[in-house]
Amino acid sequence: MINFVILKVIKEHNWRDKMNNVKVGQTWQDWDVRFRNHAPRYIKVIRFVNDLKVQVENQDTFRRTIISVCRFKPTSNGYRLIKEV
């Protein structure tokens, strides 16, 4: 039981760190390797839905969707920061 509590605290701490990097008004680029040969897709953070999710708007189509905060990292299936607020 103690290990579970420790892991939960570590996981929440990691989420908080990632959440601090994401701010309303930032522009991010989709960094998925499957689509890097296509035209870049940019999204703008509109608002926080809760601690772990944000609503974003596609800058080309103006469609809105909700994305997990953990996706905002420049890995093969995440997003990379383009424009700070």
Model confidence over 2-52: pLDDT tens digits? Answer: 555 555 555 555 555 555 689 999 999 998 888 888 888 999 999 999 989
Residue 64 banded pLDDT, cuts 50, 70, 90: very high
Which residue bears the tokens 């579970």?
4
Give the model's pLDDT for residue 24.
95
pTM of the predicted model as reported, rounded to 2 decimal places? 0.74
How many structural domains are present in the chain?
1
Give the model's pLDDT for residue 29.
93
Range of the domain at 44: 2-83
Q: DSSP assignment, residue 20?
A: H
| Cα(43)–Cα(82) distance, integer angstroms | 10
37: CATH: 2.30.30
